[in-house]
Structure formats: structure tokens, C-alpha cells
Chain A
Amino acid sequence: MKWVEDILQTVEMLQNEHLDVRAVNMGIDLFDCADRDIDRTCALIRQKIVRCASGLVRACESISRRYGIPIVNKRVAVSPIADVAAGHSIEDLIKVAVALDEAAADVGVDLIGGYSALVQKGMTESDKMLIESLPHVLSSTSRVCASVNAASTGAGINVDALLLLGRVWRETAERTADSDGFGCCKLSVFANIPEDNPFMAGAYKGIGEPETVINIGVSGPGVIKRAVERLVQSGRHCDLGSIAEEIKSTAFRVTRCGELIGREVAKALGASFGIVDLSLAPTTEVGDSVGEIFEAMGVRNVGGPGTTAALAMLNDAVKKGGAFASSSVGGLSGAFIPVAEDATLAKAAEAGHLSLEKLEAMTSVCSVGLDMIALPGDTSPETLAAIAMDELSIGVVNRKTTSVRLIPVPGKKAGDRAVFGGLFGESPVVPVPNGASDVFVRLGGRIPAPLVSLNN
């Protein structure tokens, strides 16, 4: 009977296929904490975060128990600090980062996002200082995540900011060399950054968002993989269209679970409900990998021919199912391909099937970008900036979000292994072929915004 099948499928998703809510993120506006006295600003920030988010973990645990759905990560995102703390010195910005770190510990969340600057068209003094403070902040705090929006379709690409970030990546990695440059895992650089992204490291509370807002990141690589496997193994006629339909209906269910949990958490905390982010976020666990979905579809080696098409189909089907499930869809909403955080992708990179170039091609049809990519430790700041320029160009021209999370692993070369631990995983260091483009990058300035008409 259909209703019995429906119930059993939902039970299976919950009990055996890793369906969980990957992230409940509470966005908190901090602009009312700005003060000429930085110590007062820090105190107000800490008080406000504790006031708004002290019940977050408890509410998530209670709702998780009620519905039997695990909520893996509870996090906080705040207004972009470069704007909140504008007019202060670099030392003052570091004080704010420490206040954020302490507030995150006070409310029991493992990461707090929003140590951020939006510099797509140019940098204010505050933006520049925030970026320059990143090596210190990312190496001396444990919970603070940073993001920089360095490009947009409307403004183009701020190459000066990327050059600065090239040096930041190297210095941050050097300062955290004992953990393979882990500090860089907490920094995402974007084109077209979304204001309501619940996933770290790129989460911040957008200026157009409510006072406090709950955004949800659903999971589901394991659920989608099992749905595809069941269909393929069912003996029924199965072409790519039917696989897409199966993914679509599964994404509908996954999204609905996320929205249900998100609305309950928002209600419990008296916050607005924001969005469900449909992104398929893998973990290092076997059975919870985006790469395994490609394998279930019949792609022999992830990274080989057919991978980009499989990803395009997967991404589109997830969006279609999710968009039908909820009118509150936002954030990044696509498949993530973070090499270090996805065991199958990491394995494919190790086997040489998944190169930097192939990953870049794949990001043109999915969300995020070159995420959690371990690079040789001696990759020059200019080359890091150039890799970021390539990736952000894909977002700018295609009017979508792309980002980079690059880790130049100190003392390691292509083929060595970088270990970041926990959800951040581990991966081989991938080579950067074809030499440097230092002269091109050092020209600096801004790549103008692309034409958005004459599309044919």
C-alpha cells in the first residue's frame, strides 16, 4: 500500500540513511552594538549574542528529541564586523573577534560566522584592516569564521582584495602550520555571497535580514544516494530522467524535514524563520558523500568524463524538489563538493581522478566552489589569488554564488596528505599545474562587471 511505503521510506531516511539537519544557524544583528568605545562595543556584542542565542542549543536539542531528527551543528552568524566596527583600529577589530569567540563559547556553539567584509567593488579602511587581521584572528580564536565577498555580478572582481587575501592565506596557514594550515578552513572568499547562508565558514547575517533569524541547512547525500541505489537495483527500467525524478522527490522530503525543524526552532526562540538551504552537505562518514551519489549513478571514477553532467543533473533535481517543497528556500542551495570533507571526493583526488581543473569545471554547475582544497604550501600568494579569480569569475559571469576555501598546507607538496580533523576531514594536497600568472594578477584593480544582456 502506498501509505505504508511512504511511512517506511521516511522511517528509513531517518534511521538508516543519515537524514539530519546539518545546521541550525541563528543570525543576529549587531549594528546596535556599535560604539566609539571598542570595549563597550565588545561588551554589547557579547551581551546581545548571549541574550538572543543562550537558548539555541537547548531548543535544538528539545526539538531534535521531539521529532527524532538529529541536529548536527548549532551556530550563530552576525552582521559583517567590518561594518559593525568601522572606524576602529586593527587591534580593536581583533578585540571584537575575541568577544565573538567568547560569546560563542558562552552560548555553546562550535562556530560563529560574520567576521566578514563585503569588498566586491572596493575596500573601506575597516574592510582592509579586517582582512589584514585575519591571520591573527583565525590562528588565535577557535570558533570565529570569516568571509570576504570579493566579487559580484553587479560589481565585477576586486583583484586588489584577492591579492591581499593571497598573502592572508599564506600567513594564516603558516601561523597554524601545526594543524596543516587549519586556520584557512575558517575563511571563505565569495562571489555573490548570499545573506542567508547557514553553512560555515561563509555564514553571516545579511544587512537585509531581520533582527534575529533562523536559517536551516539540510543534509541528505546519504538519503539521495540510497534512493538512487534503490531505483537502479529495483530492476525497473531506469534512465537518467527517472533518476532525476527520484532525486527530486527525495529532495522534497528532505527539505520538508528541514523546514519543519526550522520553524519550530524559530518559534521556540521568538526569532524569524528565514530559509532552508537545500545544499547537499557531505561529511567524512561513509554513506554521507556526494561522490557516492555519482558512483550510484554509474560514474566509474569521480572526476572522470560524465562527472560534471551527473553533478548538473543532481543539482538541478535537488533544487526542483526543494523549491516545490518550500517557498522559503535560499542560501547556497546546491551540491557541495568540499574535497577534504567528502571521503569519496578525497579518495578520487588521491587517485588522480579529480584535479583542480575538473573541480573548477564542476563548480560551474553547482554551489559553493573550490571548497576545502589543500594546496602545496609554497603556492605563491599571487597564484592563490589567481585560483580565486578563476573561481569567482564563474560565479560573476553565471550570476551565481561561487567561493574558495583554499589551504596552502605549510611544508607539504602535491600528493602529501593534509589532516584537519573532525568534520573538516582530510585530503591529499592537489597539484597546481601550468605555472604562475603573477604578472597578470599583480596588475591589480578590478575586473569590470560583466554584461548581463546580449545573452545568446
Chain B
Amino acid sequence: MKEYIVTVLARDRVGIVRDVASALAGIGGNITHVSQTVVRGYFTLILSVEMPDERTQLEIRQAVERRGAVGELEVNVMPFAAEPTCETGEAERFTLSMRGRDAPGLIARATGYLADNRINIEDVYAYVHGGEALILAQVAIPNSLDTEQVQAGLQEALEGFDVAAHLQHENIFRATNEIDPVLAL
């Protein structure tokens, strides 16, 4: 068996996941990981699938595309490579929250600072409503960095933007929002 990563982008409608899953099953595929979300009415899906050795990337892509109307599903397929080892060494997870007035370049400035400091973004969620921006990101901060300095550096990097940025250790959110005892953290 070979493993592939498949992404699908489309206008959202009922039944897209079913269509993609049945297309892959129809050519012998076994889905092992899925993540899906909808942003402003647009559906995005990323999944990992095991396929018989004889299947090609082209066959997989065409099988999925044929389940939608012409041009409806934008599909990409790439061979799975082994998960990268952590580039940042030992790291701890923090939640970064940024709130304030939306402005062009805000996300670029913030993520630029994170990248420059080898801070990996593992998950991100953002929206703008009424001119106010909210960005929440789960980031891995290398243990070699001082969190307070990162916080201060980020705020400095955002100078000129009317935005407050806060970093909090993920254990705070787990402790306050999960039922599992603190002992389990």
C-alpha cells in the first residue's frame, strides 16, 4: 500500500465528504486521517489515504473530481512523506490570541515574527467581524525561548497595529475547559 495526502476545495454543499470518501473507497482506498472546515461558505478538506500500489496520483484525483459537477471540486493529491521531525527542538504548546482592529498585513506581521523565532503554528483560526479581527493560534514555542520575551517581542512587532496579543500555556486552557483532572495534565 502507498499513502497519499488529498486536499479538496469547493463551495460548500451537503454531501461533499460522502462523495470524496466513496470515490476513494471505490478505488480501494482506506482513509486514515481527516480534517475539514468551512470558511465563509467554502469547504476545505485534507485527508490521508492508503491506496493499492498500482493506483496513480492522476487516477486518485480523477476519481474524486468525477464525484462533483464539472469544475466543482478542486483536488490535489501528493505522495505522503514521513512526518517531519520537529525543527524547533523541544517545545511547549501555547495559545496565541490576538484581538483588535483589522488592517492589511496584520497576520503577515505576526506570523513573520513567529517564523523568525522558529515558532511553529500548528493550528490557526481567524475571522474579521465589524472591522475587529480575532486570531487564535496554537503555536509550539521552543523551550530555548523565554515566553515573556516572545510575548513582548510579538507585541513590539505589531507596533502600528491596534491589536493586543497574548500568549498562554495550553495547560491553562486544558485545566479550565476540560473535565479531566489537573493531575492528568
Contact = CB atoms under 8 A, between A and B. Distances in A.
Give the interface size class of chain A. 20 to 34
A257 B175 contact: yes
A66 B182 contact: no
Contact of A259 (B125, B136, B182): B182
Contact of A263 (B97, B147, B168, B183): B183
A11 B168 contact: yes
Contact of B172 (A3, A65, A69, A252): A69
Interface of A: 3-4, 6-8, 10-11, 13-15, 65-69, 252-253, 256-257, 259-260, 263, 326-327
A69 B176 CA distance: 13
B168 A68 contact: yes
A356 B178 CA distance: 42
Nearest to B167: A68
A276 to B, nearest CB: 9
B157 to A, nearest CB: 18
Nearest to A256: B175
Q: Is the interface of B mostly helix, strand, loop or mixed?
A: mixed
Contacts of A14: 166, 168, 172
A216 to B, nearest CB: 11
Interface string B155-185: 0000000001011110111011100011101
B168 A67 contact: yes
A10 B172 CA distance: 8
Nearest to B178: A256
A84 to B, nearest CB: 33
Given A4-B136, A14-B166, A257-B172, 20 more contacts: A4-B125, A6-B173, A6-B176, A7-B97, A7-B136, A15-B164, A65-B146, A66-B147, A66-B169, A67-B168, A68-B168, A68-B169, A252-B176, A253-B176, A253-B177, A260-B171, A260-B172, A260-B185, A263-B182, A326-B181
Interface of B: 95, 97, 125, 134, 136, 146-148, 151, 164, 166-169, 171-173, 175-177, 181-183, 185
Contacts of B182: 256, 259-260, 263, 326
Nearest to B176: A253
A7 B147 contact: no
Nearest to B169: A67
Contacts of A67: 168-169, 171-172
Given A67-B168, A263-B183, A7 B175 contact: no
A326 B146 CA distance: 30
Contacts of B167: 68
B128 to A, nearest CB: 14
B173 A10 contact: yes
A10 B134 CA distance: 15
Contacts of A69: 172
A454 to B, nearest CB: 39
A100 to B, nearest CB: 32
A327 B151 CA distance: 34
